[in-house]
Amino acid sequence: MTIKKRIHAELTIWDGNPRPAASEEARAEMKASLLNVGQLMPIITRPTATGAEVIAGQNRFINIGELIASGEWPADRAIIVDERKMDDATALEIATSENISISMHPMHQFEAFSRLIEMGRTITDIANGYGVSTRIVEQRLSYAKLEDGARALVKENERDLDWASAMTMASPAEQKQILDEINAEPRRYRSAHEVRSRLQDQLVSLELALFNPDDVEEETVRRDLFDPADRRYMKQSDFIPLQDAALKAKVEERQGEGWAEVKVLNERDYDPYRYNNGVTDKAKAMVVFVRYPTGEIVEHAGVALRHEERVNDIDDTDADAASAIFGDDSDIEEGVRDQINATETETKDEYVEGPKTLRQLEAERAAVIQKMILQDSKLAMVTTIAGLIGNSAARPLAASKTYSDLSSLDENGIARSVIETKNEAVAAIFKTRGVDVTSPYKDLMTQLAGLTNDELMLVFQTELARTISSNLYKITPLYENLIEISGTSSADHWSINRAFLGTLTTGALKGLGNQILPERLKVKLGKSKNDMIETIAQIADDARQGGGRLAADERAQVTSWAPGLLATTAANDDPDNPFAAANDTGDEDSADGAAIFA
């Protein structure tokens, strides 16, 4: 290292510097400092046959040249340089690690790291040289997977680094398709989430594998280097055959353990609410493997069909009697059944609830009723007693269906989440307290008698909720009455979700967006149905969780909206409402309800 003085004319910029020159605006503060205070730090150079080339400090060098041109800096004024002999690799390391106020763009860092690798440096050498982790170096080098067009979008700040990170998961062909769509419509794929959503249709996380992921050929695996969990993925076409082979082995293993039955079902064919859980007697229980479209396979061991599910046939007399007592489809509110049986038609940018949506909303309404019964023991008792003694009320205890509609609901929906949590709690009680639901009636009563009042109340609420189905006689007044006497509104039990949105037509989705979204977000809806669903769902999730994307009044507009079958409100502050205070306790059972049962 040698400190020397050179004039501007003796210096040139090294053409291997990966950093682009900063804009004149970005260099303005530095130029003012040079003019008023002078040069404080030396420029790093290396000697050449005709003078020296600037390795680090090119923006100061450019500023001095501009000051000379404007007559504000003498052309023969000495410039202090730190002159060193070095090879290109060392020069590159110095140029990329230069500590200046204008940070280096990660894409330029990628280009520099790639050149260092070509010059023989290892990832560890680069990490040690820059004082960063090898993970950071690997992340930067992963941009080599990006198509030139993708890198250009990031360099030009048309897309951010999260977007680039997501794109590294795509194959060259997938990237080209995405870039072509962006060229045709620049607003497409603006976020990393949109890219990942598209790729998720083709990739499966190895976290879902029944087989050993370490046995997979490395060339078939894709890694997301920007994921802190370092997840690995495979294309579905590579993943599914391995998953099927592992499933076959698992089935054979369980069959050898003495279970009464082992079966494999698709998600649509498996209704968890038809089964009792926690059955320990293998001779009475089964193992069910459920296959999901994502590639995931979930094992349910120790389950048995509930008694009413094993009874498949009833005679004509019983059928007529049931119809007379509980009603049938003709009892559904006037006009709704005709709408449900109608043909689905596309609408033009107008929110309309078509047949598919109405069927979904009937199921969602039943789930909301189940949620209220499960969360408030007094409501459960009121509903039961009214059904037992009322002249023309809903009689859920006499119903035959059990949670028949919930498998179609959004798995993250408010009501479904409560229902599943409560059912898991009951299964845990049965397992801990030794309750075998397949026991003879006398033994089952003895086992249940050993539970505490609180435990019995939860079991009662769960069994009552099981009987609520969308075709329950008088379900509309039951729903409205429970909302009213609990002092709640539909917003307390339901929110816009992907399963509901998926039933709407493109025109209805746009109409809904126009109703509930602020003007600045309507332009983000996109053109495809999937884009609209994802945009509305993300905003609705953010609003429900109190996120920062919406102002308070905008958030209220989204969270308070409800579709026709669910749109009803009640005053939460009614002093004469005995349920309002209990409702404020959230998920806790009403103390008064527990006292009634005790």
Secondary structure (DSSP) of 36-97: HT---SPEEEEE-SSSEEEEE-HHHHHHHHHHHHTTSS-TT--EEEEE----HHHHHHHHHT
Confidence band of 61 (pLDDT split at 50, 70, 90): very high
CB of 515 closer than 8 Å to CB of 509: no
pLDDT average, residue stretch 474-479: 88
Highest mean pLDDT among 165-169, 393-397, 442-446, 515-519 belongs to 515-519
Confidence band of 514 (pLDDT split at 50, 70, 90): very high
Confidence band of 202 (pLDDT split at 50, 70, 90): confident
Q: What is the spatial distance between Cα 275 and Cα 312, in angstroms, rounded to a whole number? A: 15
Q: What is the spatial distance between Cα 568 and Cα 562, in angstroms, rounded to a whole number? A: 8
Residues with Cβ within 8 Å of 252's Cβ and at least 6 positions away in sequence, in order, are none
Look at residues 433, 575, 558 and name the one whose alpha carbon lies nearest to residue 501. Answer: 558
- Residue 95 clears pLDDT 50, i.e. is over it: yes
Say if residue 143 is in the same domain as residue 92: no
Highest mean pLDDT among 178-187, 192-201, 222-231, 381-390 belongs to 178-187
Confidence band of 345 (pLDDT split at 50, 70, 90): low
389-445 residue pLDDT tens: 654 455 555 544 445 556 778 878 899 889 889 988 998 898 899 888 888 888 888
Say if residue 20 is in the same domain as residue 89: yes
- Per-residue pLDDT, 593: 37
Say if residue 8 is in the same domain as residue 89: yes
- Per-residue pLDDT, 309: 60
Q: Which residues of 187-218 are buried (b: 16+ CB within 10 A; e: fewer)?
A: ebbbbbebbbebbeeebbbbebbbbeeeebee
In the block, residue with structure tokens 């009455």: 481
- Per-residue pLDDT, 325: 38
For residues 129 and 115, the model is more confident at 115
Query: Domain containing 54: what range?
Result: 2-96
Q: What is the spatial distance between Cα 493 and Cα 562, in angstroms, rounded to a whole number? A: 10
- Residue 365 clears pLDDT 50, i.e. is over it: yes
CB of 470 closer than 8 Å to CB of 363: yes
For residues 187 and 499, the model is more confident at 499
For residues 317 and 564, the model is more confident at 564
For residues 470 and 597, the model is more confident at 470
- Per-residue pLDDT, 458: 93
528 lies in some domain: yes
- Residue 340 clears pLDDT 70, i.e. is over it: no
- Per-residue pLDDT, 121: 84
- Per-residue pLDDT, 420: 86
312 lies in some domain: no
Q: What is the spatial distance between Cα 482 and Cα 475, in angstroms, rounded to a whole number? A: 10
- Per-residue pLDDT, 396: 57
CATH number at residue 65: 3.90.1530.10
Domain final residue pick, 236, 263, 297: 236
Other C-beta atoms closer than 10 Å to the C-beta of 243 total 21
For residues 335 and 229, the model is more confident at 229
pLDDT average, residue stretch 576-593: 42
206 lies in some domain: yes
Other C-beta atoms closer than 10 Å to the C-beta of 381 total 21
- Residue 343 clears pLDDT 80, i.e. is over it: no
- Per-residue pLDDT, 227: 63
The residue count for the chain: 598
- Cα-trace Rg, the chain: 33
587 lies in some domain: no
Range in 230-244, 309-323, 556-570 with the lowest mean pLDDT: 309-323
- Per-residue pLDDT, 582: 42
Beta strands at 43-47 and 286-291: parallel, antiparallel or unpaired: unpaired
For residues 334 and 183, the model is more confident at 183
- Per-residue pLDDT, 435: 87
Range in 346-355, 492-501, 551-560 with the lowest mean pLDDT: 346-355
Here the tokens at position 272 are 């968890």
215 lies in some domain: yes
Domain final residue pick, 202, 236, 270: 236
pLDDT mean across residues, the chain: 80
pLDDT average, residue stretch 281-291: 92
User: What region, left, alpha or beta, does residue 80 occupy, with left being phi > 0 and alpha being psi -120 to 50 degrees?
Assistant: beta
CB of 5 closer than 8 Å to CB of 79: yes
Longest dimension (CA), the chain: 112
- Per-residue pLDDT, 312: 45
Q: What is the spatial distance between Cα 563 and Cα 491, in angstroms, rounded to a whole number? A: 11
Q: Around 300, how many Cα atoms within 13 Å sit in the side-chain half-sphere? A: 27
Q: What is the spatial distance between Cα 218 and Cα 206, in angstroms, rounded to a whole number? A: 12
Q: Around 241, how many Cα atoms within 13 Å sit in the side-chain half-sphere? A: 4
176 DSSP 8-state letter: H
- Per-residue pLDDT, 456: 92
- Residue 549 clears pLDDT 50, i.e. is over it: yes
419 lies in some domain: no
Grouping H, G, I as helix, E, B as strand and the rest as coil, residue 225 is coil
Range in 130-134, 456-460, 495-499 with the lowest mean pLDDT: 130-134
Look at residues 454, 482, 321 and name the one whose alpha carbon lies nearest to residue 398. Answer: 321
CB of 377 closer than 8 Å to CB of 456: no
489-512 residue pLDDT tens: 999 999 999 999 999 999 999 999
Q: What is the spatial distance between Cα 519 and Cα 20, in angstroms, rounded to a whole number? A: 39
511 lies in some domain: yes
Look at residues 168, 297, 153, 170 and name the one whose alpha carbon lies nearest to residue 227. Answer: 168
Beta strands at 232-235 and 261-266: parallel, antiparallel or unpaired: unpaired
Helices (H) and strands (E) in the chain — how many of each? Answer: 27, 12
Q: What is the 3-state secondary structure of 102-157?
A: CCCCHHHHHHHHHHHHHCCCCHHHHHHHHCCCHHHHHHHHHHHHCCHHHHHHHHCC
Look at residues 377, 373, 426 and name the one whose alpha carbon lies nearest to residue 595. Answer: 377
**Terminal C-alpha separation, the chain:** 88
Q: How many domains does the chain have?
A: 3
- Residue 292 clears pLDDT 50, i.e. is over it: yes
Grouping H, G, I as helix, E, B as strand and the rest as coil, residue 303 is strand
pLDDT average, residue stretch 458-480: 86
3 DSSP 8-state letter: E
37 lies in some domain: yes
Range in 28-32, 246-250, 329-333, 483-487 with the lowest mean pLDDT: 329-333
Here the tokens at position 295 are 């590639």
Helical axes 88-96 vs 123-130, angle rounded to 10°? 50
Grouping H, G, I as helix, E, B as strand and the rest as coil, residue 304 is strand
- Per-residue pLDDT, 482: 93
Q: What is the spatial distance between Cα 561 and Cα 539, in angstroms, rounded to a whole number? A: 13
Confidence band of 578 (pLDDT split at 50, 70, 90): very low
- Per-residue pLDDT, 595: 36
Domain final residue pick, 39, 70, 96: 96
